[in-house]
């Protein structure tokens, strides 16, 4: 959250935060959630990555179209170049070390862009027949199914049946980054999951929010459980550490 002189708390100060349920989901899976800061210092990025076993990229604002060779179609889709620059630099360090990454919503989008893919700036106006993937009033109560790709990590975790998930995004994957495969698709054809889990890499991106699919009233117990994704990330971490505790 950039400096805002009208904000009643921390007036004019830049805030950096983690949504609570995200941290709780990592903790329940056996990890120790550690928020990373943007200090506008490449040396800090390198130093912070040294102590990590993996990375979860959370949701957030739009990705700036300039990062995938486009101009904003509307001013409100300009995104946040400051946040983008930090996460792109962070991903460069993480991928070079072959650390596992779970990208959620914006996290999946910035991962796709970082590795050579592109995005739709707005699904409703750029994808014919697109579902409503975001509604501010209903927010995480909106849901739709996703179909899983045979042989994908998601199929290993959940089986072949469709999942029922939340949906809170208006941008989405267009061109898939080289080396990735599509792992999940919405009924309207929008890509909902991408992955690269070979050649030493474990890079998984999904458009829905599994941290909110925890069986709570808002998350909805009728929806597909979000825990298997965090469990899979932590299994990968343990494998890289030779079975040691996280």
- Residues 41 and 43: their CA atoms lie apart, in Å, by 5
- Residues 51 and 53: their CA atoms lie apart, in Å, by 7
Q: Is 211 a catalytic residue?
A: yes
| Angle at alpha carbon of residue 82, lines to 79 and 83, rounded to 5° | 75
- Residues 211 and 120: their CA atoms lie apart, in Å, by 24
Q: Which of 144, 169, 170, 209 is catalytic?
A: 209
Q: Which of 105, 133, 170, 195 is catalytic?
A: 105
The helix (H) or strand (E) run that includes residue 167 is none
Task: Write out the two tokens for 109.
Answer: 């989008």
DSSP secondary structure of 177-210 = PTT-EEEEE-TTS-EEEEEE--TT--EEEESS-G
Which residue has 């027949």 as its token pair?
A: 129
Q: Is 201 a catalytic residue?
A: no
Task: Write out the two tokens for 224.
Answer: 């597909």
Q: Please, are residues 205 and 211 in contact by the beta-carbon 8 Å criterion?
A: no
- Residues 135 and 170: their CA atoms lie apart, in Å, by 9
β-bridge pairing 143-148 and 181-185: antiparallel
- Residues 239 and 166: their CA atoms lie apart, in Å, by 30
- Residues 128 and 150: their CA atoms lie apart, in Å, by 25
Residues annotated as part of the active site: 105, 209, 211
């Amino acid at each position: 959250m950039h400096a805002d002189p009208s904000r009643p708390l921390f007036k004019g100060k830049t805030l950096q935060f983690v949504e609570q349920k995200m941290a709780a989901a990592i903790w329940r899976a056996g990890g120790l959630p550690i928020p990373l800061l943007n200090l506008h210092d490449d040396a800090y990025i390198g130093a912070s990555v040294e102590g990590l076993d993996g990375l979860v990229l959370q949701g957030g604002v739009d990705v700036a179209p300039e990062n995938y060779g486009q101009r904003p179609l509307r001013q409100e889709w300009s995104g946040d170049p400051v946040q983008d620059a930090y996460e792109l630099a962070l991903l460069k360090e993480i991928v070079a070390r072959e650390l596992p990454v779970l990208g959620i919503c914006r996290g999946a989008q910035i991962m796709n862009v970082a590795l050579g893919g592109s995005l739709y700036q707005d699904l409703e106006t750029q994808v014919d027949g697109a579902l409503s993937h975001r509604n501010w009033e209903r927010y995480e109560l909106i849901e739709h199914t996703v179909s899983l790709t045979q042989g994908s990590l998601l199929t290993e975790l959940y089986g072949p049946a469709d999942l029922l998930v939340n949906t809170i995004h208006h941008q989405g994957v267009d061109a898939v980054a080289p080396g990735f495969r599509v792992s999940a698709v919405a009924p309207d054809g929008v890509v909902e999951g991408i992955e690269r889990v070979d050649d030493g890499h474990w890079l998984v991106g999904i458009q829905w929010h599994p941290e909110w699919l925890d069986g709570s009233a808002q998350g909805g117990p009728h929806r597909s459980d979000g825990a298997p994704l965090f469990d899979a990330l932590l299994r990968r971490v343990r494998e890289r550490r030779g079975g040691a505790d996280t």
